[in-house]
Amino acid sequence: MEGIENIYTYLKGKFGEGIGILDKESRDPWFEVKRENLREVATFLRDDPELGFTYLVAITGVDYSKFVDVDYKGKLCATYILYRLRDSHQLIFKVFVEKEDPVIPSVWDIWRAAEWHEREAFDLVGIKFEGHPDLRRILLPPEWEGHPLLKDYKEPEEYRTPDGYLVVKTHRPDPLRENNESDQK
Amino acid sequence: MAGRYKEGVENIPIEQIADALFPEVILTTVDDFLNWGRSWSVWYLLFATACCGIELMQFGGPRTDADRIGSVFRATPRQADLMIVAGTITYKMASRVKLLYEQMAEPKYVISMGACANCGGPFWYSYSVLRGIDKVIPVDFYIAGCPPRPEALLQGVIEVQKKIKKEKYLRAKKSEAGG
Amino acid sequence: MSLTRSEEWYLNMGPHHPSTHGVLRFVVKSDGEVIDEVKPDIGFLHRGIEKIAERLEYNQIIPYYDRVDYLAAFNASWSYVMAVEKLLGIEVPPRAEYIRVILGELNRIISHLISVGSFALDMGAVTPFTWAIREREVVNDIFEMVTGSRLTYNFPRIGGVYQDVPEGFREKVLQFCEYFPPKLKEFNDLITYQKIFIHRLANVAVITPEQAIAFGLTGPNLRGSGIKYDLRKNRPYSVYSEFEFDIPVGTGEAGTLGDAYDRYMVRIREMEESCKIIKQAIEKMPDGPVRAKVPRKLKPPVGDVYAATEAPRGELGVHLISDGSSRPYRMKIRTGSFAAMSIVNEVSHGLMIADLVALIGSLDVIAPEIDR
Ligand code: SF4
């Protein structure tokens, strides 16, 4: 099956409310999947002979809190990029969650590649993937606080290892900031 | 000049050259002798974290050829005299850098190679990068560049040799031992 | 079975370990010499490029991509400019595309050289590495001539490349195409067809095609498992559809399909193919401008875009989300090494500890690509 609109209508016919909006304006069009239906939709996308998206390229965690005015502004989002290898068809879909309740079911057993991509999205954006076998920080040290790719992330004043072996100040002047008050001090 | 030099060499009998190169008696101080030996065997720890590490490899490779000044790479800190920190050091890595430095035997030297190791370089804005390894370990020489050329690193090692040659190694040891 | 089972113990490899490429750490749970489980610990080189990019203009980000994959800096920044061009709908002049292809393939060759060289080094053979480095310097000179830099080129621009190639470029590249294949043969005689080397790698660390797809492996690692998938052929970008070249895949020539030797062989063969592409591209290179007219301040439309090129370590994809301003709202880098690392635990069960080094070497991972 070719074309995002065909796939969208096909899925919409099958899952109804489980499939949300379709954004055709975007350069690479995408559609929304409701998180309650994510696992069914994902299994269907992979196993249906018409679709057959067996290859997960990436999961991008996004914080939409400072985005332009859209329905999903202020939400967290996991963007799934898929390939169908036989004709290299690409498909993007998104799952939105509220910031207060950032839980998305894990798809690690559907696409094994998701296991690490989900860990990364948890580490950087703070989305919790329910049912993930080993949801730990992956890139940052385990004692790190906060999720740096959130738009309101504040850097800590100092970094220290849990055993106190290393303590370093992280402060620095910031030439790119518009009003540079902290540097004048 | 070149011609005259060549002529001159041709005119000197081979025995004389051999005598000049391998004299039977050398007068020197113990310090100088030790330093001479140390400075021509600066073994460096292969500590490549990022892009600069590739230039560190090329530094040991056939063109720059660090071997000719007596520098060979060592994989373990316990056999190394010189630590070349080549590349970005993140906070996660920083405690390991300190640990590796502490595992090296005295006397030890550190070259900080590249903008990242010097001050954070292009990753100044990053939330996870240590801005300069001198916040963690003492540094003898900084080499600028992103990445520095292998020739620049060679110059750095030659500077380390110069520093070694000037040291009063034994006296330092004595005062240390005497407390 | 329980009779032969002894006590389980943990071994820590890295992060500073000579045979892990860059700074990686593995916590190995093993029973004697036989590995039970490997927990890779990554992030020692996590430099936060994705966050830095959010505060820079689109064209300021290009140099950071050279540092995402420093062994193939050109391919990496090519992915990025392609994503921005796709977002803005910019046409790239044909001459620029040809220059990109030539430099990209040259970059692939030197990246694979380091890869096979250091793989041989990991396996205990020092000379091949020195030889590989020697050939690498030849290409480094070409790059220095064109871009002024040896490692981090910062050469592609949004809408083309920085400048036209200098005089003498054509001759130098053709000369290299003549020079390189015999040298590669020499290299092969030295190590590739050597009995000890083959025995060391055959049947070791087998990745089945199903596993490779499930874990999202790409590039030579995917093709080593016998799957003929290459973005240059399957999703042709730039001007790759105009050239004739083969996609080498693993065939299990030394043992099982998808073993370490297959992945190694794919890289060796790809270098030959790259030489072919370069020759064709040099012959066909048209005249004309090398940079499209692009405004200084970019204002892309709101939305998502994903673009990828076939870098030496597989698909290097860039997912950009734009909010209409001159800075990306979110940028995600998808790399081949990240996927390759995620399969380590799955494959290493039952391997010897020494074979873990073979596995990692054959996957050809580098730290900044994993951690970004
Ligand atoms: S100084 Fe530049 S080349 Fe060296 S590690 Fe840092 S970014 Fe890479």
Q: What's the pLDDT tens digit per position in B69-90?
A: 888 888 788 888 888 888 888 8
What six digits make up the tokens of C127? 């000379």
> ipTM value of the model?
0.84
At B130, the amino acid letter reads: L
pLDDT at residue C5, rounded to an integer: 60
Q: pLDDT tens for chain A, 185 residues: list them.
A: 777 888 888 888 888 887 888 888 888 888 888 888 888 888 888 888 888 888 888 898 888 888 888 888 888 888 999 888 888 888 888 888 888 888 888 888 888 888 888 888 888 888 888 888 888 888 888 888 888 888 888 877 778 877 877 777 777 666 666 544 444 33
Nearest Cα of chain C lies from the Cα of A22 at a distance, in angstroms, of 12
Residue B14's pLDDT band (cuts 50, 70, 90):
confident
Split at pLDDT 50, 70, 90, the class of B4 is very low
% of chain C at pLDDT higher than 90: 0
Q: What is the pLDDT of residue A182?
A: 44
Statement: residue C347 has pLDDT above 80: yes
Q: Domain residues of chain C, as ranges?
A: 8-371
Query: What is the CATH code of the structural domain delimited by C8-371?
Result: 1.10.645.10
From residue A162, how far is each of A145, B133, C250 by CA, in Å? Answer: 12, 20, 46
Ranking A143-157, C142-156, C333-347 by mean pLDDT, the lowest is A143-157
Residues B9-35 have a mean pLDDT of 75
Under DSSP, the state recorded for B111 is E
Average pLDDT value for chain C: 85
Question: What phi-psi label fits residue A132: left (phi over 0), alpha (psi between -120 and 50 degrees) or beta?
Answer: beta
Q: Does A60 touch chain C (CB under 8 A)?
A: yes
Contact B88, B50 (CB under 8 A): yes
Instruction: Report the DSSP pairing between strands A19-23 and A30-33.
Output: antiparallel
User: Considering only CA atoms, which of A57, A56, A95 is closest in space to residue A76?
Assistant: A95
- Reading the block at residue C62, the tokens are 């290009």
Q: What integer pLDDT is reported at residue C70 of this predicted model? A: 84
Give the model's confidence band at B10: pLDDT under 50 very low, under 70 low, under 90 confident, else very high: low
Burial class of residue C354 (count of CB atoms within 10 Å of its CB; 0-12, 13-18, 19+)? middle
For C268-284, the DSSP string reads: HHHHHHHHHHHHHHHHH
Other beta carbons less than 10 A from residue A9's beta carbon: 14
pLDDT of C298 strictly over 70: yes
CA–CA separation, C362 and C355 (whole Å): 10
Residue B2 above 50 pLDDT? no
- Domain range summary for chain A, segments of one domain joined by +: 4-154
| Alpha carbon of B122 to ligand 1 centroid (Å) | 8
DSSP conformation class of A113: T
**What contacts C38, CB < 8 A, 6 or more positions away?**
C26, C27, C28, C29, C344, C345, C348, C356
In the DSSP assignment, the letter for residue C222 is: H
Residues from chain C contacting residue B48 (CB–CB below 8 Å): 22
Q: Distance, CA B80 to ligand 1 centroid (Å)?
A: 23
Q: How far is CA C127 from CA A24, B63, C122, C338, C365, in A?
A: 56, 14, 12, 29, 21
CB contact under 8 A, A27 and C304: yes
User: d(Cα C43, Cα B8) in Å, to the nearest integer?
Assistant: 61
The two three-digit tokens of residue A109, written as one number: 């057993």
Q: What is the pLDDT of residue B178?
A: 43
Distance of alpha carbon C195 from alpha carbon C200, whole angstroms: 8
For residue C245, the tally of other CB atoms under 10 A from its CB is 18
CA distance C129 to C187: 10
Give the Cα separation of A142 and A157 in Å (integer): 17
- Please give the Cα distance from C269 to C248 (Å, whole number): 6
Residue B175 has pLDDT above 70, yes or no: no
How far, in Å, is the centroid of ligand 1 from the Cα of B36?
33
Pairing of strands B82-86, B141-143: unpaired
In angstroms, the Cα distances linking A154 to A146, A151, A157, A158, C327 are 8, 9, 9, 12, 20
Ligand 1 first shell, C-beta below 6 A: B 50-52, 87-88, 114-116, 121-122, 146-147; C 67, 152
C43 touches chain A (CB under 8 A): yes
CA distance B141 to chain C (A): 22
pLDDT score, position C326: 84
The H or E element containing residue C26 is strand C25-31
Q: What is the mean pLDDT of chain B?
A: 80
**What residue has token string 């290393």?**
A166
Contacts of B74 in chain C (CB under 8 A): none
Question: Which residues on chain A place their C-beta less than 8 Å from a C-beta of chain B?
Answer: 140-141, 148, 153, 155, 159, 161, 165-166, 168-170, 172, 174, 176
- Mark yes or no for CB contact B51/C70 under 8 Å: yes
Please check the confidence at residue B119 and state whether its pLDDT lies above 70. yes
What span, in angstroms and rounded, lies between the C-alpha atoms of B80 and B105? 7
When computed from its CA atoms, the radius of gyration of chain B, rounded to whole angstroms, is 20
Predicted pLDDT at B6: 52
Is there a contact between C204 and C358 (Cβ–Cβ < 8 Å)? yes
- Residue C315: closest CA among B54, A58, A114, A28: A58
CATH 3.30.460.80 is right for the domain spanning A4-154 = yes
Mean pLDDT of C27-37: 83
C337 within 8 A of C362, measured Cβ to Cβ: no
Mean pLDDT of the B125-132 span: 84
pTM higher than 0.90, yes or no? Answer: no
Report C:118-157 residues touching B (Cβ under 8 A).
130, 133-134, 136-137, 140, 150-152
Q: Say whether B147 and C151 touch across the interface (CB within 8 A).
A: yes
Q: For residue B173, what pLDDT is reported?
A: 54
**Spatial contact of C310 and C232, defined as CB atoms under 8 Å apart:** yes
Distances (CA, A) of B5 to A113, B2, B10, B14, B20: 68, 5, 9, 15, 17
Q: How high is the pLDDT of residue A183?
A: 41
Closest CA to C323 of A156, A63, A107, B171: A63
Most confident of C74-78, C233-237, C350-354: C74-78
The tokens of A74 are what?
Answer: 């202020």
CB atoms within 10 A of CB C250: 27
Task: Quote the pLDDT of residue C356.
Answer: 84
With contact defined as 3+ CB pairs under 8 Å, the chains touching C are A, B
pLDDT of C189 above 50? yes
Residue in C37, C39, C43, C38 with CA at minimum distance from that of residue C23: C43
Among A155, A166, A176, select the one facing B127 at the smallest CB separation.
Answer: A155
CB–CB of A157/A182 below 8 Å? no
- State the pLDDT at residue C3: 56
Q: Which of C37, C34, C18, C229 is nearest to C26 (CA)?
A: C37
pLDDT band at B104 (very low <50, low <70, confident <90, very high): confident
**For residues C15 and B121, what is the distance between their CA atoms, to the nearest angstrom?**
22
Confidence (pLDDT) at B1: 40
Given a cut of 70, whether residue B155 has pLDDT beyond it is yes
Q: Please report the pLDDT score of residue C1 as a whole number.
A: 45
Beta strands in chain A (DSSP E): 19-23, 30-33, 55-63, 76-84, 89-97, 103-105, 128-130, 158-160, 167-169
* φ/ψ (deg, to 5) at A30: -140, 165
Q: With 50 as the cut, is the pLDDT of residue C45 above it?
A: yes
Query: Average pLDDT in the B33-49 region?
Result: 83
- Give φ, ψ of A123 to 5 degrees: -65, -45
Cα distances (angstroms) measured from residue B63 to each of A101, A115, C41: 58, 44, 35
Return the closest-CA partner of residue A19 out of A29, A10, A32: A32
CB contact under 8 A, B128 and C70: no
The answer to whether A158 and B127 have CB atoms below 8 angstroms apart is no
| A67–C303 C-beta distance less than 8 A | no
- CA atoms of C287 and C289, how far apart (whole Å): 7
Two structure tokens written together for C21: 């490429």
* Contacts by C164-173, CB closer than 8 A, 24 or more apart: C164/C95, C164/C99, C164/C290, C165/C99, C169/C142, C169/C145, C170/C282, C170/C285, C172/C141, C172/C142, C172/C145, C173/C102, C173/C106, C173/C142, C173/C278, C173/C282
CA distance B153 to B144: 10
